[in-house]
Amino acid sequence: MNPDLFFQYLFAGISYGIIYAIVGVGFNIIYNTTGIINFAQGEFVMLGGMIAFSLLQWMPLPLAIAAAVAVTMVVGALIEIVFIRWLDRPSVLRMIIITIGLSILIREVALHIWGESIRALPYFYGNEITTVSIAGVKVSPQVLWVVGICSVIVGTLNLFFYASPLGREMRACAANRTAATLCGINTNNMVTLSFMLSAGIGALAGCVMSPITYTSYDMGTGLAIKGFTVAILGGLGNSLAAVAAGLLLGIIEAFSISVVPLAFQDAIAITILLIILFVRPHGLFGSKEAASLKEF
Amino acid sequence: MALLEIHRLNKKFGGLHAVNNVSLTVKKGMIKAVIGPNGAGKTTLFNLIAGNLSPSSGSVVFRNHELQGLKPYQVARMGMSRTFQNIKLFSGMTALENVMAGRHVRSRAGFLAGMFNLPHTWREEAGIRQKSMDLMKLLEIEEFAHKESTSLAFGQQRAVEMARALNTEPELLLLDEPAAGLNMKETAELGRLITKIREMGITILLVEHDMSLVMDISDEITVLSFGHKIAEGKPAAIQQNPEVIKIYLGEN
Amino acid sequence: MNTKKNIGVLGLLGLVIMIQLLTHWTGTQYYLTQLTMSAYYSLVILGLCVLMGYAGQISLGHAGFFAIGGYLAAALTTHDLTPYSNTLIIQVLNRCGLLIQGQDIYGDVLLYFNPWVSCILAISAAALTALVTGIPVLKLKGHYLAMATLGFGTIIYRIVLASAFFGEADGISDVPPFTLVSGIPGLPVIEVSGDFSGRVQNYYIAWSMVIAGTLLLLNLIDSRVGRALRSIHGSEETADAMGINTARYKLKTFILSAIFAAAAGVFLTHFNGGIGPSEAGIMKSVRYVAIVAVGGMANIWGALTMGVLLNFLSLRGIFGTYDDAVFGLILILIMLFAPEGILSIRIRQRLRNAFSSSTSEIRGGESS
């Protein structure tokens, strides 16, 4: 493999990988506050891209993206308020089925609004043949946008969770919901907030990736499986590790193109997921004892 | 050789040494009690014996077989049955069905026999039902047989759990805090029940918090504190043991 | 208990015959096609009901087992073996009568697997797949189990979609009829096919399979094994402590449900004369789960009723382009408002009250 091709694969891997990472982080945010795996996580990414695409008719790109993120956050909040909040200690099976039902519903609504065709936002800078040169390697500027914005998302989230009072309250809620309630934290609002955050970052990721990977109504399930793989790989609940795991998966997938037929690419992530689930369900970076304390 | 022999058993959870070098033996036919304040490691010890946890080191020998590495269902098949501290009945099944489920290890009908409802399963089912009802009569809970098990009163649930455990025809019955949540009268009733079970030839090892019950019925008592065994002997001797008194009075 | 069960099954048989006669008298035989298809789908649902409702294990990959059955049956009975006819294995198979000969439009001889052979191979393949995937997958619980089975379903979907052997996006068509009985004097040829003239016959073939399946599963649930399965659902740890080998029982139930799904796949593919990748899709798996949930999870009759009803409505196109959305909505509503299934909400309670004087035979298993 010549160096040029190598870097092409590498950058493709990084830009896909960081999207997986964002979906994985989205899983973690909701999991941490509720113990729920939200199977509709991938649909947030699809909604972001689709809504921004539609809004583009009336407003410039940055505004359309901001609005799309806001709308998706509202969807996330509504999901929590309408479907999740009032359930009294639901079983895991029940939550799985509800979120799967939600993901189907969102997908079908999207199908009726946007149809089966594949949509794409325009490149943020230049077009599909524009390249910039980094250390002699040509990459699309969109890749830099993806990496840049997603890094900002992850960084801001970390700052939010560890340095802001609200973030600390959310972590308290994650650690022990009863105790957090006793300390006067409104845990219900924290859960709503976690759905909003999770939807918001998903939508933003969906917008920045749209020019390269396109947006289609049924992209959610595939993304959810990959995001979940990443979340598990990093140890459920551990967001920084999820980012590392996301990059790893993206790069593995990108390089596998030369060996595995494109149609089987999804199978790579699933195979990794299955192997991890069987061998190290607490993740590559997680500790076994901590994982055994979590309820499953 | 005693029925159950535990040698220098250890269990560590991270930095916590829940069971620390505990040895004890249970002879056939006796009622043996393990007592100790909360957090002494009693339930952990139980879970180590029944195969729910694997020890950090040490051995558990039951009927001359080393139990290391056996799964709980294998331990159960060897003739050890148990009840749980927080009663664990099968929800969605009647009391009778719960007790019948305990007969699993003493019956054979498999998937195909069940699906095709083969004649030889009829006799087996009838036998299971009969034996289960007999046990429920013995424990005086036959009137609740067809009630949903988790709708019963606490003491009745405990009796159902005990009938279920007995239905496996164990050599050794492990009772995890059987008096927890019972009032004085129910506790006395329970004591009578336990001696009745011993008269059936079943050896009993119980973990208990309630001193009155243990002093009444046990042949031998082991006292645990912070994972260590601090005393062992007949109830009268334990009552006099200064160290045990210190722990219990100190705790109160 | 036994009489109650038998009355139920006899009632079902009576209903099946009555509906056929009704369509005959009213000239609405065209319903029979969808009723036959619904019957086969219900077979998948019955198996899944035992796995989910009784053994308590979710599977989001059961369309995968259906597809293994259907696709293998289709591929083995449509791919011409003449290019390999000189190889030893094909000659041996041919000698044993396991292959059948056909003719293409130019009159050349073609060689296929006998549908009986392909049926047995397909179902065995599904059972074997269930065994191999089940051993590791069923160690998982909750979210992990759901994701792992979802992953399994996706892999099967990708394989059928990407392999030329399975027709890629077009699927496999022109699957020959499956002759069950022929050459017996006095009996007509009985075959599974979508042939117009065999409509009534096929309706009865499908429904006898459903009736037999229902009876087998009802027996199973009433047996020692059924009690063990329900106890696993109640508390796996306790079942284990009672000497029940929970891992093995879960695995066997998984395989059993895979066999039901694969058998349904084989027969429906012969009936439809083909199979396409959508049969292997995630939506199908989710639909099966939805129907089991609506039926009340641990309720064979509920699963059967809902399986026939919802599939029939869906196949008649009642839900239009909102077909998948309807099933998504059903899932959510059921899990939000009636996690025990709609058949269990009020009716069950009333029945219970009505019978409470003689409740001894009403099973607690259905009340949880």
Q: Mind listing the pLDDT tens digit for each residue in A19-28?
A: 899 999 999 8
pLDDT tens profile B97-119: 999 999 998 888 888 988 998 88
Closest partner residue to C58 among A37, A93, A225, by Cβ? Answer: A93
User: Is residue A289 pLDDT above 60, yes or no?
Assistant: no
Query: Which pLDDT score, from 0 to 100, does residue C68 have?
Result: 96
Q: Verify whether the Cβ–Cβ distance C220 to B111 is below 8 Å.
A: yes
Which chain B residues are closer than 8 Å to C127 by Cβ? none
Q: What is the pLDDT of residue B15?
A: 78
Supply B80's token pair: 């050890």
Instruction: Give the integer Cα–Cα distance in Å for C262 and C264.
Output: 5
Q: How high is the pLDDT of residue A1?
A: 67
Dmax over CA atoms of chain A, in Å, equals: 61
**Over 60: is that where the pLDDT of A291 sits?**
no
User: A104 to chain C: which residues are within 8 Å by CB?
Assistant: 283, 286, 324-325, 327-328, 331
Tell whether A217 lies on the interface with C, counting CB pairs under 8 A: no
- A-chain CB neighbours of C290 within 8 Å are 97, 101
According to the model, what pLDDT value does residue A284 have? Answer: 67
Q: What is the pLDDT of residue A5?
A: 80
Report pLDDT for C359.
40
- Angle, helices C246-272 vs C199-222, to 10°: value is 170
Candidates C219, C228, C235; nearest CB to B115: C219
Alpha helix positions (H), chain A: 3-34, 41-55, 61-79, 92-114, 141-163, 165-175, 177-182, 187-213, 220-233, 239-256, 265-279, 288-293
Burial of B195-231, coded b for 16+ CB within 10 Å and e otherwise, reads eebbeeebbbbbbbbbbebbbbbbebbbbbbebebbb
d(Cα A245, Cα C80) in Å, to the nearest integer? 46
Over residues C121-153, the pLDDT tens digits come to 999 999 999 999 998 888 888 888 888 898 899
Contact B91 C359 (CB under 8 A): no
Tokens matching residue B71: 């799964």
C349 touching B (Cβ < 8 Å): no
Contact A50, A119 (CB under 8 A): yes
How many whole angstroms separate alpha carbon C345 and alpha carbon C327? 20
Nearest Cα of chain C lies from the Cα of A164 at a distance, in angstroms, of: 31
Other CB atoms within a 10 A radius of the CB of residue B115 amount to 20
Measure the CA–CA gap between C234 and C237, rounded to whole angstroms.
9
Cβ B111–C242 below 8 Å, yes or no? no
| Burial letters C115-145, b for 16+ CB under 10 A, else e | bebbbebbbebbbebbeebbeebbbbbbbbb
State how far the Cα of A160 lies from the Cα of A180, in Å rounded to an integer. Answer: 18
User: In Å, how far is C135's CA from the nearest CA of chain A?
Assistant: 10
C212, two tokens: 């037999």
Please give the structure tokens belonging to residue A273. 């997921």
The C-alpha atoms of residue C189 and residue C201 are separated, in whole angstroms, by: 10
The residues with which C204 forms a beta bridge, in sequence order, are: none
Nearest to A142, CA basis, from A209, A193, A214, A62: A209
Nearest residue to C274 via CA among C201, C173, C198, C361: C173
Residue B146 near residue C359 (C-beta atoms within 8 A): yes
- For residues B1-18, one letter each, b for 16 or more C-beta atoms within 10 angstroms of the residue's C-beta and e for the rest, the string is ebbbbbeebbbeeeeebb
Q: Does A266 touch chain C (CB under 8 A)?
A: yes
Position A145 scores a pLDDT of: 87
Q: What is the pLDDT of residue C358?
A: 44
> Would you call C332 and A296 a contact, using CB atoms and an 8 Å cutoff?
no
Q: Kindly give, in sequence order, each residue whose CB lies less than 8 Å from that of residue C226, ignoring residues fewer than 6 positions away.
A: B114, C54, C220
Which residues of A, range 171-200, sit inside 8 Å of C by Cβ?
none
Q: Does C234 touch chain A (CB under 8 A)?
A: no
CA distances from C155 to B30, B91, C159, C266 (A): 58, 36, 6, 20
Model confidence at B252: pLDDT above 50: no
Residue A3's Cα: distance from chain center in Å? Answer: 31
The rounded distance, in Å, linking the Cα atoms of C133 and A270 is 13
More confident residue, B195 or A263: B195
**Are the Cβ atoms of B114 and C226 closer than 8 angstroms?**
yes
Partner residue opposite C230 with nearest CB, options B71, B82, B93: B93
B41 vs A218: CA distance, rounded Å: 53
Give the gap in angstroms from C-alpha A106 to the nearest C-alpha of chain C: 9
pLDDT confidence of residue C214? 95
Nearest to A296 by CA among C141, C240, C58: C141
C297-355 pLDDT, tens digit per residue, is 888 998 999 999 999 999 888 888 888 888 888 888 888 887 776 665 445 555 555 55
At residue C56, the pLDDT reads 87
User: Looking at CA atoms only, how far is residue C45 from chain A in angstroms?
Assistant: 16
pLDDT in tens, B73-84: 999 999 999 998
Tell me how far CA of residue C334 lies from CA of A161, C147, C295, C342, in angstroms.
36, 21, 10, 7
Instruction: Out of A87-91, A261-265, C172-176, C268-272, give the one with best mean pLDDT.
Output: C268-272
Query: Is C329 near chain A, with CB under 8 Å?
Result: yes
Q: Do B114 and C244 touch (CB under 8 A)?
A: no
Q: The tokens 């001894």 sit on which residue? A: C360
User: What are the per-10-residue average pLDDT scores of chain C (368 residues)?
Assistant: 78 92 89 94 96 91 96 90 78 79 73 89 96 88 86 90 87 88 78 84 94 95 92 90 92 96 96 93 91 87 91 87 86 82 56 51 39
**Subunit contact A277:C144, Cβ cutoff 8 A:** yes
pLDDT: which is higher, A295 or A3: A3
* pLDDT value of position A294: 44
pLDDT digits over B107-165, tens only?
888 889 889 988 888 899 999 999 999 999 988 888 998 988 888 888 889 889 999 99
Single-letter amino acid, residue C262: A
CATH architecture of B1-79+170-252: 3-Layer(aba) Sandwich (3.40)
Distance, CA of C72 to CA of C269 (rounded, Å): 10
Q: Residue A285 has what pLDDT?
A: 65
Q: For residue B82, what are the β-bridge partners?
A: B174
Cα gap B97→B106, rounded to integer Å: 15
C247 touches chain A (CB under 8 A): no
Closest CA to A47 of A14, A17, A70, A77: A70
* pLDDT tens, position by position, A186-227: 888 888 999 999 999 999 999 998 888 888 888 888 888 889
Angle at B104 between CA B99 and CA B108, to 5 degrees: 145
Surface-to-core class of residue C53, CB atoms within 10 Å of its CB (0-12 exposed, 13-18 middle, 19+ buried): buried
The pLDDT value recorded for residue B140 is 86
Q: What pLDDT digit, counting tens, does each position of A153-191 carry?
A: 888 888 888 888 888 888 887 777 778 888 878 888 888
Largest CA distance in chain B: 65
For residue A102, the distance in angstroms to the closest alpha carbon of chain C comes to 7
Q: Write the DSSP symbol of residue B81.
A: E
**A296 and C293: CB-CB below 8 Å?**
no
Contact C144 A296 (CB under 8 A): yes
> Which among C224, C225, C364 is the nearest to B148, CB-wise?
C364
C144 interfaces chain A, CB cutoff of 8 Å: yes
> Looking at chain B, which residue has its C-alpha nearest residue C253?
B111
* Distance from C-alpha of B240 to C-alpha of B238, rounded to nearest angstrom: 5
Chain B residue whose CA is closest to C229: B101
Structure tokens at A213: 């990977």
Neighbours of chain A (3+ CB pairs under 8 A): C
Identify which has the larger pLDDT, B52 or A264.
Answer: B52
Calculate the CA B47 to chain-centre distance.
Answer: 10
N- to C-terminal Cα separation, chain C: 19
The Cα–Cα gap between C253 and C217 comes to: 11
The two structure tokens encoding residue A104: 């189907």
Cβ-defined contact of C142 to A97 (cutoff 8 Å): no
Residues 6+ apart with CB under 8 A from C248: none
Mean pLDDT value across chain B: 88
Q: Is C27 on the interface with A (CB under 8 A)?
A: no
Nearest to C286 among A100, A112, A267 (CB): A100
Pick the residue of A37, A98, A104 with the most C CBs within 10 A to test the interface with C by mutation: A104
pLDDT at A52: 94
Domain ranges of chain B: 1-79+170-252, 94-169
Q: Which CATH number fits domain A9-117+141-293: 1.10.1330, 2.20.25, 3.10.20, 1.10.3470?
A: 1.10.3470
Does this complex have an ipTM over 0.90?
no
Q: A85 and A191 in contact (C-beta within 8 Å)?
A: yes
Distances (CA, A) of C314 to A36, A46, A240, C110: 31, 27, 45, 38
Using a CB–CB cutoff of 8 Å, tell me whether A277 touches chain C.
yes
pLDDT at position A293 is 43
Find out whether B48 and B8 touch, Cβ atoms under 8 Å.
no
- Could C223 and B168 be called an inter-chain contact, meaning their C-beta atoms sit closer than 8 Å? no
